[in-house]
């Protein structure tokens, strides 16, 4: 009798595990298909505090993972060595991402390009999707790349979008911002200008 109960318990546990895996797998497929929003780590609502950076102490080198430009060319974050880089991960189906993109374009115009490079990396499945979206919104001036494989975003632990990573001229990660913000706000521009002026 005890053996029968043990067998039933094992069977029930197996059913629960399989069901959980099916549900999780379905959720992942729905996210990848763009049918459900990718979880965002936005702090304090859709717009986080202007200078709410999580400082990386100690700083660490950028990962070796590659990403692509709209033409299919391969790139790495070390390609931008020699200047500060603000890397923004976003997606066309992410509402907070689309809200903050114009402020990234204005930030790019507000800070000297030889001091700070603003790089947007979409995690959409196709590079042309992001390129067409930016063009439709008059944001073609933003440097646009794609991480459709999620290799780079995973290596950087960018678990939600939007996530933005700040990299120093030596290609070291020095901070990150989780969630959307106003990148061209006076406080943010002042904070970033102070950081990049150290170079």
Residue ranges per structural domain of the chain: 1-36, 54-196
The correct answer on CATH 3.30.1330.60 for the domain covering 54-196 is: no
Q: How far is CA 199 from the centre of its chain?
A: 25
Q: One digit per residue, pLDDT tens: the chain, 199 residues?
A: 555 555 555 444 444 433 433 333 333 333 333 333 333 333 333 333 446 778 787 889 999 999 999 889 999 999 999 999 999 999 999 999 999 999 999 999 999 889 999 999 999 998 889 999 999 999 999 999 999 999 999 999 998 999 999 999 999 999 999 999 999 999 899 889 888 887 6
The CA distances from residue 4 to 7, 55, 195, in Å, are 5, 56, 67
pTM, whole model, 2 decimals? 0.74
């Amino acid at each position: 009798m005890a053996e029968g109960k043990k067998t039933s318990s094992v069977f029930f546990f197996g059913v629960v595990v399989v069901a959980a895996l099916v549900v999780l797998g379905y959720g992942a497929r729905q996210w990848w298909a763009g049918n459900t929003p990718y979880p965002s780590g936005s702090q304090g609502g859709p717009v986080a505090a202007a200078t709410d950076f999580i400082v990386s102490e100690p700083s660490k080198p950028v990962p070796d993972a590659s990403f692509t430009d709209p033409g299919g060319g391969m790139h790495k974050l070390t390609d931008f060595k020699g200047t500060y880089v603000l890397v923004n991960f976003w997606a066309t189906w992410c509402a907070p991402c689309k809200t903050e993109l114009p402020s990234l374009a204005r930030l790019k115009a507000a800070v000297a390009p030889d001091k700070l490079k603003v790089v947007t990396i979409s995690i959409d499945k196709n590079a042309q999707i992001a390129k067409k979206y930016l063009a439709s919104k008059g944001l073609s001036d933003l440097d646009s790349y794609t991480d459709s494989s999620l290799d780079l975003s995973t290596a950087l632990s960018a678990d939600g979008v939007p996530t933005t990573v700040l990299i120093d001229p030596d290609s070291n990660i020095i901070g990150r911002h989780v969630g959307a913000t106003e990148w061209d706000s006076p406080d943010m521009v002042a904070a970033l200008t102070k950081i990049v002026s150290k170079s």
